[in-house]
Amino acid sequence: MSSPPVPLRLDHVSIEVPDLAAAVEHLDTELGLTTTISAGAPDRHGRVFLDRTYLEVAADPGRDGWQATMCFLRFAEPDALRAHLDAAGLTYTFGVWEGVDGTWDDVEVRSGDVPLPTLIRRTAPADVARDWPPALSRAQRCGARFLATVVFDVSSLDAAAGAFSSLLGRPLERPAATGVRVPLASGELVLREGSVDRIAGVVLGVGSLEETRRVLTLGPTEDGVAWLEGDGAHGLRLGFTERR
């Protein structure tokens, strides 16, 4: 008898940029997103805080443009997660990640050649970890409130859908037009067929797309998402969706 699925939530997406200071200024002045610089690594790390989620901004001087490189899902109970992964027949490794300002449980999960998000849980400092990521006191200037969706291009949609179904412990619906939606306890992933396995887009939730359009130049709303037009995010595909 399999164990019940464990709740997994969108935690954050890591975005690599060539220069942190330049990226922070652009995020603020052009995109209406304020970055909090990490005191332990002020020249290479910061976070754009949303509600119980965030965008991690990390400097990689060798990178050309901005790229979303990793997606992280949050879990709450290590023992329950181990039991679920064992029952699902997934290969995994529990580790510890020492970040610039704390410590995280870091779980790498594998299902064949399908890339899966890293599962994490902050553990230290204890007073910070108890309420991490923090709640958002007010929306970002562009209206962004939370991390809503991460879009993945996958080389095999069938294999990816099977792997994520095992990870979540439930079957996934597959509408032909939009690929596979992977609903989480909070937020969602979208899987699309692509030539390379990669994060193809990041979507932020806003209270009003109309208000966000007063700050940013967005394209038409398609399937509930309005994407930033042009190269306003230096190669990063950034979208906005209206959810309350």
Cα gap 202→240, rounded to integer Å: 8
Q: Which residues contact 33 (CB under 8 A, 6 or more apart)?
A: 27, 48, 55, 140, 141, 142, 144
DSSP letter for 22, please.
H
Chain segment 132-161, per-residue pLDDT in tens: 999 999 999 999 999 999 999 999 999 999
Q: Using CA atoms in the order 56, 213, 225, 29, what is the torsion angle rounded to 10 degrees?
A: -20
Low pLDDT (below 70) residues in the chain: 1-4, 175-178, 244
The one-letter code for the residue type at 241 is T
Could you tell me if residue 179 is left (phi over 0), alpha (psi between -120 and 50 degrees) or otherwise beta?
Answer: left
Question: What are 217-225's contacts with CB under 8 Å, separation 24+?
Answer: 223/178, 225/149
Of 225, 243, 7, the closest CA to residue 146 belongs to 243
Chain segment 70-105, per-residue pLDDT in tens: 999 999 999 999 999 999 999 999 999 999 999 999
